[in-house]
Structure 1
Amino acid sequence: MDFNFTEEQTMLRDMLSRYLADTYTFDARQNVVRGGKGWNPAVWQAFAEELGVLGAPFAEAHGGLGGGAIENMVVMEEMGRAIVLEPYLSTVVIGGGALKHVGGAIADAVIPGIIAGTTRIAFAASEPQGRFYLNDLTTTLKGGLLNGQKAVVEGAAHATHLLVTARTGGAQRDAGGIALLLIPADAKDITRRDYLTVHGASASEVYFENVAVGAEHVLNAEALPLIEAVVDEATAAVCAEACGVLKVLHATTLDYAKQRKQFGKAIGDFQVIQHRLVDMFMEVEQAVSMTMMATLKLDTAERSAAVSMAKAKVGKAAKFVGQNAVQVHGGIGITQELAVGHYFKRATLIENLFGSVDFHLSRYEGIALAA
């Protein structure tokens, strides 16, 4: 099997890498975090207009680059290297991914706005009681009225649309009776409580109280299989982001070990530190391999199993590499002034995003037993 990127994919990676290295420096990112908005609109428009990155996984008929999951993987890894705050995951991977699956007039109408940077989508699926279970829903859509609460909705404060899961029938944890909605974020009777996550991105608690929803807002009336497919695609993309984060954590720690002196020589000369750095490198490489395999299997019957294997591996790697990076740096590893602590925060969040290690090991076991 050929694991090499195409010329176009390599150009996409190199172009985004150069832009982020020149423009999205750690200091520039910290200025955005201190501003309290959780994103930089100018950067988002640069992604759209200057780089064309937002069109990477979309068909040329919609104005995109004609790519797919591999392009998302390339983009997300580079964004992980710079711990980018902007909502590529929720807008392009999740929102755009759902629209690609649904197709038709709604996709034709909304996807060009995503590519142009004018449409931003927040994924309102998680609920306080639901943990990682997509079918555990108390938000309801009955008689055309949406009621309920969604928790930790990243990017809702600056979204133009909300991608919402809601129960139209059945019991709280039933697989049936779940709809997927795309509604305007400024619709009447939607309220939010906004805050910043630990790594500086914007998130919100979103409340729906008798929000009017029309048939034109319903992407799919029996949507659990669609939602599961989109979340698997998002999980693979998050694994790619984690690979970028972990590569920087390892490289930064290696450089620090070469420079920091103790007892008259660099700490990297001590065998115990060398072993730790090698173990970190192995965790990163295994995470990269598992992420690539999961991405390649997104369009196959092995999708869910491959994604859970990758996420379990990436979750373990995020914990191991992040903790060891901080330990080798010592106390300065958790200061606000040093980038390594911020990468550690993102790695820690990714560890549990879309399912913890235990969740995905259990999910994989269930898939294997059912096979």
Structure 2
Amino acid sequence: MDFSLSDEQRIIKEAAEKFIAKDYTFDARNKIISSDEGMSRETWQQFADFGWLGIALPEEVGGYGGSMIETMIITEALGSAMVIEPFLSTVVMCASLIQQAGNSTQKEELLPKIIEGNLLLSLAFVEEQSRYNLADVATSAEKSGDDYVINGTKVVALGAPWADKLILSVRTSGNRTDTSGISLFLIDKSAPGVTCTDYALADGSQGANILLENVSVSKDALIGELDQGLTILEDVIDRATAALCADALGAMEACFKKTLEYVKTRKQFDVAIGSFQVLQHRVVDMFTAVESSRSMAYMVSMKINVDDAIERKKAVSAAKAHIGKHARFVSQQAVQLHGGIGMTEELDIGHYFRRLTLFCRLFGSTEYHIERFAKFSQI
């Protein structure tokens, strides 16, 4: 498997890394988090100007026409600076869902606005009882004339505090855990009956719990086929997991580089602590963890579009389990090798630790993906 980037991909990578290094420093990030909105609309518009918001969307709707490789390049750079803006929720999750399952009207109306930076979306699919089971949906949508009435609660909707619209997974038929009977609806976040409880996540980004009380939506709000939304949802979450792996890779590499620099300059007994052999071994182990995770991130980005859904799921779970294990190791070592200062708010290492800790739980824990990989390996 060839992991080398094309000339165009290298240009994207270099441009993203240059922007992050110059304009999205740790201090700049802290100012964004402490602002009233908790994100930067100006930065989001810059993403649009760079073409990042349409990086994997087709050219006919104004996108770049790229693949998951280009998405991975962008998310790796964003992870290296722990970017707060909702690239994952709006671009990787919602835009790809609309591109795959939306009708022509929905694509023409929504995708150009996303690409231009004028529309933020959030995919609300998690429920309190569902854990990592995408088919466990209690939120219901009942037919009422030509409309549907939605009732239920969604939790941990990533980027929902900033979203203009929400995409919901709801049950339109069957029992709570049936694999059929799940549909996807697009609603305005400001619609009557929608109540969002916003909160900060561990890494400084934001999510929300969403209460839906007799929310009336038109049948035109349905994305994809009625009762057949689970397959699309599974594909989108697999893509989001792959992108999140690249984000974690960027954070892991930043942890490693900052820790390497620290042990070269921090002195004890008048010598750099990096000269101690036991610490050298730990830094080498960090490097090995980062590079093996890089291989897995590239692998899953290349396999995400395979026709065989089982192979796709196996690749995603293999990458998430492997990178999850090593993300925990790298972030813990970074904190420990920095000593007490590694836990302070003023140093970025503790913030990387939080980002990677959140990664380990989003879209399935390491243990969950090991079991998922084993399950699909037996088919």
TM-score (ref. length: structure 1)? 0.97
Deviates more, 1:9-18 or 1:137-146: 9-18
Name the SS for the 1:66 alignment partner. coil
Q: Which residue of 2 aligns with 1:136?
A: 136
Which residue of the other structure, out of 174, 177, 191, is the alignment partner of 1:173? 177
Alpha-carbon displacement from aligned partner over 1:80-134 (angstroms, at most 9, x marks no partner): 0110000110111001110121143112221101100011111101111111111
**Whole-angstrom distance in 2 between the partners of 1:198 and 1:362:** 26
Alpha-carbon displacement from aligned partner over 1:61-82 (angstroms, at most 9, x marks no partner): 1111110211110100000011
Q: Which residue identity is paired with 1:80?
A: G
**Whole-angstrom distance in 2 between the partners of 1:338 and 1:359:** 32
Which residue of the other structure, out of 282, 290, 295, is the alignment partner of 1:284? 290
Which residue of the other structure, out of 217, 232, 242, is the alignment partner of 1:236? 242
In structure 1, runs of 5+ residues without a counterpart are: none
Q: Which residue of 2 aligns with 1:64?
A: 63
Name the SS for the 2:3 alignment partner. coil
**Whole-angstrom distance in 2 between the partners of 1:103 and 1:55:** 16
**Whole-angstrom distance in 1 between the partners of 2:174 and 2:202:** 36
Q: Which residue of 1 aligns with 2:158?
A: 154
RMSD: 1.0
Q: Which residue of 2 aligns with 1:32?
A: 32
Alpha-carbon displacement from aligned partner over 1:237-293 (angstroms, at most 9, x marks no partner): 000000000000000000000011112211111111111011111111111111111
Name the SS for the 1:35 alignment partner. coil
- Report whether the alignment pairs 1:328 with 2:337: yes
**Whole-angstrom distance in 2 between the partners of 1:211 and 1:7:** 49
Number of equivalences: 369
Deviates more, 1:140-149 or 1:28-37: 28-37
Alpha-carbon displacement from aligned partner over 1:37-80 (angstroms, at most 9, x marks no partner): 3311110011112x121111111111111102111101000000
- Percent identity of the aligned residues? 42
Native 8 Å contact 1:199 1:342 kept in 2: yes
Which residue of the other structure, out of 245, 251, 260, is the alignment partner of 1:245? 251
In structure 2, runs of 5+ residues without a counterpart are: none
Q: Which residue of 2 aligns with 1:21?
A: 21
**Whole-angstrom distance in 1 between the partners of 2:26 and 2:322:** 28
**Whole-angstrom distance in 1 between the partners of 2:65 and 2:79:** 23
Q: Which residue of 1 aligns with 2:95?
A: 96
Native 8 Å contact 1:36 1:196 kept in 2: no
Q: Could you list the structure 1 runs, at least 4 aligned residues long, displaced by more than 4 angstroms after superposition.
A: none
Native 8 Å contact 1:37 1:202 kept in 2: no
Q: Which residue identity is paired with 2:137?
A: L
Q: Which residue identity is paired with 2:193?
A: D
Native 8 Å contact 2:103 2:223 kept in 1: no
Deviation at 1:2, TM superposition (A): 2.9
Map of 1:65-80 to 2, 5 A cutoff?
65-80=64-79
